[in-house]
Amino acid sequence: MHSEKSLQGIIVGAEQTNRVSPKKLLLSKWTAVHPERKEKHFLVTKVFEPEIEGQAIVEIELEAAMTGRKFCMPWRELKNREHWLQGWQ
């Protein structure tokens, strides 16, 4: 049986992740919680398909709305609400 304290930890942990489906990533909008170089808003411009069919998607390309700078990163990093928020806020 879980104590009230441990259940709260589970709930808090669940609230700190974004619900993201890799199938819906392309052209999704994201806001950086801690913007750098005045880059706050981003758009997923590419979803890199795995080399072997049936494997999971691993990486995406994000483009900064303000500067157009592009970079790649693991898509699962978008789940972390300490760094990313869904949509443009």
The yes-or-no verdict on residue 21 having pLDDT over 90 is: no
Residue-wise pLDDT tens digits, 27-84? 999 999 999 999 999 999 999 988 888 888 899 999 999 999 999 999 999 999 999 9
pLDDT at 44: 98
pTM: 0.79
CA-wise closest residue to 40 among 10, 12, 63, 13: 63
The yes-or-no verdict on residue 13 having pLDDT over 80 is: no
- Residue boundaries of the structural domains of the chain: 4-86
15 falls in which pLDDT band (50, 70, 90)? low
